[in-house]
Structure 1
Amino acid sequence: MNTPSQEVYRFDSAGSLLQTSLPFPRRQGKVRDVYDLGDCLLIVSTDRISAFDYILPSGIPGKGALLTTMSQFWFDAVDRGEIGGRLATAGTPLQHHLISTDVPKRVADRVDTEPLEGRIMVVRKAEVVPFECVVRGYLEGSGWQAYQDSGEICGVALPPGLQQCEQLASPIFTPATKAEEGHDENVPIDVMIEQLGLETAEQLRSTSLIVYEDAAQIAARQGVLIADTKFEFGVCDGKLILIDEVLTPDSSRFWAADEYEPGRAQRSFDKQFVREWLQNSQWDRNSPPPPLPEDIVAKTAARYREGAERLQAGTA
């Protein structure tokens, strides 16, 4: 017998899916609910949105489905050899965790699956590498701040005189520790080497750079710049595989190539409207965050959609 939908799903007034409670063991992240199905995991991308390390009480309608679609877009490119083909030539083909985006029968037998359609990934289990693998092709965000302070990012020295959002001569790898609470911490690669060993750290670095470079070429053909991104890897059957979401607006900065101008902040296809509204509000960042106004929700949803549509235009 199926569990009643009102006991399984919680939506906000805009129709955003904020919570799932499937009858399987669950762990909850800021955006995704991850269920253990025994031989695999079921990842549900909700419409939750976070900012400044808080999950907001308002969601962004359709966001979870969009993130899932974009991740599948990139995983399909890996399967076709458009991303990571050089690794296959070198004898170490790039693998990822995605098995299917169809709702498994064992789930459909227990709950109404309509709210899950288009927003789930069935994935292989893996031991998660405890580092975010960050690649930066342009100078923005925490990298821009670090450069202004010290002229380097995570121990990588950069030339003097660079502007905000300027393209780097070549992409750089700047790992970060994975924090259970609060911010991830950017660290030099020496910290990764010390914890994981030189061979594994170098494999993570070289693989991350190759995936970024290949993806950036695909995006550039669609008029989209990938300013930076973070990858996650896991170990499955003794091999490193690409896991989690990949190259979405929640893990990357996407800019429109036809609007790009170094020396200033760029219009990003992500949650910048949310960040700016919160920064200009009376919220103290030490108490529960306030609900988002309807216009901020609508503008943010439109910005996410625009990035996805630009990226995937003409690829169907």
Structure 2
Amino acid sequence: MIGIGARNLPGWTHVYSGKVRDVYVPSGVDAHNGEDAYLIVASDRISAYDYVLPTEIPDKGRILTQLSLWWFEQLSDLTPNHVISTNVPAAVEGRAMITRRLKIFPVECVVRGYLTGSGMAEYKRRGTVCGVALPPGIREAERLDRPIFTPTTKARLGDHDQSITFADTAARVGEGVARELRAKSIATYARAREIAAERGIIIADTKFEFGVSPDAGSEEIILGDEVLTPDSSRFWIANVYEPGRSQHSLDKQFVRDWLSSEESGWDVSSGTHPPALPDEVVDKTHERYVQIYEHLTGSRWS
């Protein structure tokens, strides 16, 4: 079926729509050489608390795609990625990429270098995050001594991701693969954190997805999906960072904060769908996405 925002594209057949992305496969050999290809199109949809919001953010899909491509290039010597080409249909130019078809592991590979959000909430209750014990006295948004791997389930559309332990991850993908995912995730985050720091940005935490080729016998673990975008990461401005309080973020935390405020009139735990975003929230969210793109890449968004 055609998804939320999917469109008919010559040479490509729509097969799936997620919260933000629409996925296509080649209709024939003319679309792209090789049947192992996907066309992944980033829409302007935005999700929060596992809901797709009824309001779009202008340019969001283009920013996510261009920033992901920039990061894939920065990290290419560290880990292979799924990008094949950006030679896409004109209707989705700038917001799409042709990628290798991967069998994605059923875990979200979250790495935290600072403690905030759901990680801080769990730490306050138990002194742990995803089974990782942490020392007492860590303040809101404080940097951890070393990054930690805190995976979650990869829920289907409409379901909620759940935090899991490393042992849970090993039960899902095998002990050896779990160790490799943890090592790759932490190493990729560490490299990205260094790159961002040079540009005055703190990456507080981020999420990666990895997979393998569906070809029989393939074992190479490949970085897929999006990478280090304001949808999948928390970005803070280094020169105003101060532990012990919430931070000014250049990501979709601004949307989460509005949804959980009294102004929205929405109860996150109600089970009802969230309201539309007001124009001011849309504009400020767009502004933050543009700012993080420009801070990181050094290029002006246009």
For 2:300 and 2:112, how far apart are their aligned partners in 1? 25
| TM-score using structure 2 length | 0.88
After alignment, is 220-229 or 268-277 more displaced?
A: 268-277
Tell me the residue number matched to 1:188: 165
Identity among equivalent pairs (%): 49
Structure 2 counterparts to residues 57-96 of structure 1, below 5 A: 57-79=54-76, 81=77, 84=78, 94-96=79-81
Shift in Å at residue 315 of structure 1? 11
Q: Does 1:141 align with 2:117?
A: yes
For 2:107 and 2:172, how far apart are their aligned partners in 1? 10
Match of 2:14 among 19, 25, 37: 25
Shift in Å at residue 52 of structure 1? 2.0
Residues 16-69 of structure 1, C-alpha deviations (whole Å, 9 max, x = no match): xx7122251320000000112243000000000112222111100000000001
Q: Does 1:36 align with 2:25?
A: yes
Q: Kindly tell me: are residues 307 and 263 of structure 1, through their superposed partners in 2, closer, same or farther at Cα, counting changes over 3 Å?
A: same
- Output the amino acid matched with 2:170: I
Q: Does 1:214 align with 2:170?
A: no
**For 1:308, what is the secondary structure of its paired residue?**
helix
Match of 1:274 among 255, 260, 272: 255
**For 2:24, what is the secondary structure of its paired residue?**
strand
Shift in Å at residue 101 of structure 1? 1.7
Tell me the residue number matched to 1:102: 87
Q: Kindly tell me: are residues 288 and 198 of structure 1, through their superposed partners in 2, closer, same or farther at Cα, counting changes over 3 Å?
A: closer
Tell me the residue number matched to 2:236: 255
Residues 186-208 of structure 1, C-alpha deviations (whole Å, 9 max, x = no match): 11101111222221111111111
Shift in Å at residue 314 of structure 1? 6.7
- What stretches of structure 1 of length at least 5 have no aligned partner? 1-7, 10-17, 85-93
For 2:246 and 2:15, how far apart are their aligned partners in 1? 39
| TM-score using structure 1 length | 0.84
Tell me the residue number matched to 1:126: 102
- Output the amino acid matched with 2:250: F
For 1:164 and 1:140, how far apart are their aligned partners in 2? 6
For 2:230 and 2:295, how far apart are their aligned partners in 1? 12
Tell me the residue number matched to 1:161: 137
- What stretches of structure 2 of length at least 5 have no aligned partner? 27-34
For 1:183 and 1:310, how far apart are their aligned partners in 2? 32
For 1:296 and 1:219, how far apart are their aligned partners in 2? 26
Q: Does 1:204 align with 2:193?
A: no
Tell me the residue number matched to 1:302: 287
CA-based RMSD of the aligned residues comes to: 1.9
Paired residues in the alignment total 280
